[in-house]
Chains A and B, each alone.
Chain A
Amino acid sequence: MELELDGLCRRYGTVTALDGLTFGVPAGQVFGFLGPNGAGKTTAMRAIFGVTALDAGEIRWRGKPVGEAARRTFGYMPEERGLYPAMALFDQVEYFAQLHGMDGPAAKKAAWYWIDRLGLSGRGRTRVDALSHGNQQRAQLAVALVHDPELLVLDEPFSGLDPAGIDDMSAILAERAAAGVTVLFSSHQLDLVEGLCEAVAIIYQGRLVVSGLVADLRRGDRPRLAVRVAGDRTGAWSAVLSSSVGTVDSMRSDGTAEISLTRTADSQAILDLARAAGPVEHFAYEDRSLSEVFRQATGASVGQAEAEHAAAARATGVATGAEL
């Protein structure tokens, strides 16, 4: 693991933002850091940059506690985007390149390179507040990428993007990861990003829920079979399934039964059962969505979790994460 978060704890008054959060991020993958709003993602990302102090825990980069020298090789795109509004785009990108330790000529070259690369050619002399919203997003990304970071940390990079923008952002992240960069991004839209990253860590209430390859998590311990019998809108046929074969997790409105199979289950026997009830329209192994993985692990849906967080924030008057 290139980046390790180990036992991170952070309290704001009575609110616990991080509660022993531990996970690792390998190099060369686009790694999603997921969880509902208020789970502690922003606090953890800020802690990587020393912007938020930790009550306990340690963050290591390549086996060593993260220090100033290491942080200079990191690129950061905070959730609340921020650039100098009155500064020209090129000056700004060049300035951040120099702050990260690049010398004058290298900073100039890299700034022009990323401005062109992100489709901002011809805007170098434009003040940032005169750029369109979309172009400001690109400018923010240019600032995070200009010094060719070895670790790229992006807080909610997909929020506010249209579908084409999401594709482009995701292509940039994949391309950086392929170049050997460790890429960590956060999102509270679990299902939106499940196709955009190879591995994820899902957190809730400041603790890790699950982490691993997206494909493994979606498959789960027990494979899922989706079966629909023609004309059976309630999935009545599945009542005959014994628990030694599998259990029906849920029934879709079109009568498709979602069945979690046991290890020993024989899928062909289930097909026979279904065919006995009528013609089988649909019979396929399916992956669970990440929000379902979250619900199974925590017992709460992402929406419920976010509503509870919002209510707690109102009740205590204590803001954490992005608000603090």
Chain B
Amino acid sequence: MNLSLSDDGQRGSSSARTLSAGAETSGEGGPVRANRPLHVTWLVARREIRLRAKARTFVITTAILLIAVALAVSLPAILAGKSKPDRIGVVGGTTATISGIITEAGRLSGGQAVAVSEPSLAAAETALRGGDLSAVLVPNSKIIVKQVPLGGVSGSVQTLAQLAGLAKLIQAVPGAASAVAHGVTLPVTGLEKPSTSLSARLTGLFTVVIIWVLISVYGSQIALGIGEEKSSRVVEVLLSTVRPVQLLIGKVLGIGLLALAQAGGMLIVFIVAGFASGSSLVHGAELGVVIAGGVFIVLGYAFYCTAFAAAGSLVSRQSDVNSTILPVQLPLILAYALSYTVIYANGANTFFRVLGFLPPTAPIAMPVLYAAGDVPAWQVAVAAVLCAAGTVWMARVATAIYSNSILRTGPRISFRQAIKESRKA
């Protein structure tokens, strides 16, 4: 090591004094800046944001995620636009008038529709069930679809119902043509019982995937980052001037803001790409489900971030992090796996409803239950309050574990040992 002191030391030292003179007057012994703890926490958070946002992996994964969201939203709509026209079965044979109405209904709804003659109602229903037809028109009577979505029919079938209703009115009532401004619609009935809105379920699924991905990805990053500070021993230099709590909060805040920005970016792409491509995902997205999802993304991150931090503080080698974060991830994995059974089935079981109210599983289970229409909004609010209370408890336990373990080296510490010791301390 050659520290090159050949130039005269006194001059060097005096310039070092001058350049930090400002810091000294505000620092040493004098009145401490009132917001100093917050300032330090922010410095820690800002380092996390700057370092991670600049990292190539972050830029690439963010780009991939945004493109994936854009494709997932817009591809079905774009492909649907090029697909075959809606086939509308007409019971008892089609006429030029009816055929014209159907073609016009397709054109008005921005797509294409063609009339197909069906000999009988039974034959038409069979074709409808088989997926050969999009809808069946019983002239002057009704329109039948396979299943009426909760929000009502849309697209060419909706337009057809209005146009066919008008046609019926004009035929039945002389002079009614002048009164068409009021609008008349044929009733639409479904062969099967109405479903929970598919779009609400899809929004729920989308929300759950985002919550799951954000918490596991950023939670692991918290644990890995703390493992890095511990294994590189930089934490001892940090703790000589920063309190453990400041270091912990700064870290989860910085990573959390980054996660929120990424989630926000995905939401914006979802909306923009959805509207641009005319996707039914956006038009049908239930605002309530989106709000519940947003609340539980924040709550879920808040609940788990400190737990992941505590898990990271138990290792002395970064490679051990995967094994210490597993217990933290278990409730998430359970809720995530079970949530698919709720999304694809009508009605959640009691076990999953209980999971919806437990703070560790609520961030995933509750948005699913709400999206599937299994719980009212007030129960979502109760679960959110419970989860917030659980977050406070978790933060206290995790901070105690973190503060106690962060400077210990040697073999990996078990959770049981860490909890026991943090109680004593």
Contacts and interface: CB of A to CB of B under 8 A. Distances in A.
Contacts of A323: 409-410
A165 to B, nearest CB: 3
Given A69-B32, A169-B3, A175-B12, A95 B236 contact: no
Given A83-B234, A110-B19, A138 B3 contact: yes
B288 interface: no
Contact of B20 (A62, A78, A82, A148): A148
A119 B32 contact: no
Given A80-B236, A175-B9, A148 B24 contact: yes
B110 to A, nearest CB: 52
A80 to B, nearest CB: 4
Interface in A96-145: 96, 98-103, 106, 109-110, 113-114, 117-119, 134, 137-138, 141, 143, 145
B4 interface: yes
B237 A118 contact: no
Interface residues of B, number: 49
Nearest to A137: B1
Contacts of A82: 232-237
B239 A49 contact: yes
Contacts of B104: none
A204 interface: no
A78 B237 contact: yes
A99 to B, nearest CB: 5
B241 A100 contact: yes
Contacts of A27: none
Given A323-B409, A324-B408, A110 B16 contact: yes
A249 interface: no
Given A68-B32, A106-B19, A175 B234 contact: no
Contact of B241 (A72, A114, A148): A72
Interface in B26-76: 26-30, 32-33, 36, 40, 43, 47, 50-51
A85 interface: yes
Interface string A77-95: 0101111111100010001
A323 B229 CA distance: 16
Interface string A164-178: 110011011011101
Contacts of B118: none
B413 interface: no
Nearest to B4: A119
Given A101-B23, A103-B23, A179-B14, 9 more contacts: A49-B241, A50-B239, A82-B234, A83-B232, A91-B51, A145-B16, A168-B1, A168-B3, A172-B5
14 contacts: A50-B240, A70-B28, A74-B240, A76-B240, A78-B240, A83-B234, A83-B237, A84-B234, A95-B43, A99-B43, A113-B15, A148-B17, A164-B1, A175-B5
Query: Nearest 9 pairs between A and B by C-beta?
Result: A82-B233, A165-B1, A168-B3, A175-B9, A82-B234, A49-B240, A179-B13, A148-B20, A102-B23
